[in-house]
Structure 1
Amino acid sequence: MPRYKTKRKIKTKSSPDSGYDSGYESDGGTEYSPVEDIGVGGYAKARLFQSQTKKSVVVLNPVTLPGDFGEAILKQRFFQTVYPDKQSHLFSMRNKDYRLIVPYISHVPYEKLKVDTPEFQKLIFRSAIEALIDCHAKGIIMVDLKSDNIYYDSSTQKSYLIDGGSSALRGTSLDPLAFQKSSQEKVEEFKEDYSHIAPECWSVKPKQVLATSAMDVYSLGKLMEDILLEPDIEMRTLIDSCLKKDPGARPTLKGLLNSLDNCISEKENIISCLQIKY
Structure 2
Amino acid sequence: MARKKLEWTDAQRRLIIDGIGRCDTQFPQDNDRFLDAVIDEIGAVTGRVYGASTYDKLIRTMPESMSITRRPSLTTIQKAIARAQDTLRSATHDDNATTKPDVGLSREVMAPLLREALAPIHTLLAALASTQATPSQPGPDVQSTLELELTRAALTDVHSRLRQRDEEIAALRVELGKAMAERDLASTRVAGLLDGLRETFQTTGVEVVRLVESAKRLTGTEQYLKLQADSVRQQAMAETERLRDRTKSLEARVDQLMIENDQYRRALTARRQSEN
TM-score by length of 1: 0.24
Q: Which has the higher contact order (CA 8 A, sep 6+)?
A: 2
Name the one with the larger strand percent: 1
Choose 1 or 2 for highest CA Rg: 2
Q: Please identify which structure carries the higher helix content.
A: 2
TM-score, with normalisation over the residues of structure 2?
Answer: 0.24
